[in-house]
């Protein structure tokens, strides 16, 4: 997950502390943000290092924030 996307999750999380962990238990390659797709580079080329389509990173951010918000409501 590109740093920019992880920072968005942290910023939008309802929790005081939110940690983004990468390279844990599996490998799916780079997850760039839309801006990175526009800039190009090996991180956005389809191959063993990246299998995701443009916009996937932002979808992950939205879903992560939704799940964090739901969890927050359950534990408060």
Over residues 4-61, the pLDDT tens digits come to: 999 999 999 999 999 999 877 777 788 999 999 999 988 888 877 788 899 999 999 9
pLDDT in the model for residue 29 = 83
Taking only the tens place, the pLDDT of each residue in 58-72 is 999 999 999 999 999
| 3-state SS assignment for residue 47 | strand
Asked whether the beta carbons of 17 and 42 are under 8 A apart, the reply is: no
Asked whether the beta carbons of 14 and 66 are under 8 A apart, the reply is: no
pLDDT in the model for residue 5 = 98
pLDDT in the model for residue 71 = 98
């Amino acid at each position: 997950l590109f740093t920019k996307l992880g920072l968005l999750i942290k910023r939008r999380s309802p929790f005081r502390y939110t940690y983004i962990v990468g390279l844990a238990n599996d490998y799916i390659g780079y997850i760039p943000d839309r801006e990175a797709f526009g800039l190009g580079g090996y991180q956005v080329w389809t191959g063993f290092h990246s299998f995701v389509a443009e916009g996937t990173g932002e979808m992950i951010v939205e879903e992560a924030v939704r799940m964090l918000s739901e969890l927050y409501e359950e534990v408060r």
